[in-house]
Amino acid sequence: MKRRWVYGMAAGVLGLVACAGMQARAQEAKQDRGYWEAASDTARDVTGDISISELKVSIGFSRFTIAQILELTPAQATAIFGADADAQGGGNLYRLDVPAEKRFAHHNTLCGEQETQWMATWSDGRSLDVAFFSGDAIPALTTDAMAKSQNVCELLTYVR
């Protein structure tokens, strides 16, 4: 009888630990949500401040629908942003559609004469890196692919 009780308690504790791990991972993926001030000169010149919610990204006075495609791994964040492979944080790859002719701060576009189709984010809670991509195909998020990619449009930095 005691043995069953001990096994039951152990299974319950393991279940709680697994749930806590899943919640922590979900929180990391949501770190990019909220209002962000442009921190890099490029971000100030191209987008100004941005805001990300579950379904929209606001750039300047324009809002665009986004769809989360996947949560980024630290290795993917390293490939895109050059982040430390052991860096804490979380991020996502989103699908979006920003027309090529859409102008933002200082009359700049995100991807020149191409539509912006993808947005990747990585946040450690206080800073946010954002990459915009063109092209219909999902970006290959490896170091080699990023080094050769013709679809990377902008790499921008924001802070809270």
Average confidence (pLDDT) per 10 residues, the chain, 160 residues: 54 48 50 96 95 96 96 94 83 97 94 97 94 97 94 96
d(CA 93, CA 103): 23
Q: What is the pLDDT of residue 84?
A: 77
pTM of the predicted protein model: 0.81
The answer as to whether 15 is a domain residue is no
The answer as to whether 2 is a domain residue is no
Which residues make Cβ contacts (< 8 Å) with residue 46, sequence separation at least 6? Answer: 104, 105, 106, 108, 110, 154, 156
Neighbour tally for 108: CB within 10 Å? 15
Rounded to 5, what percent of the chain is helix, strand, coil? Answer: 30, 35, 35
Q: Which domain range does residue 63 map to?
A: 31-159
The answer as to whether 127 is a domain residue is yes
The answer as to whether 79 is a domain residue is yes
Q: What is the pLDDT of residue 23?
A: 44
Number of independent structural domains in the chain: 1
Q: What is the pLDDT of residue 24?
A: 42
The answer as to whether 65 is a domain residue is yes
The answer as to whether 3 is a domain residue is no
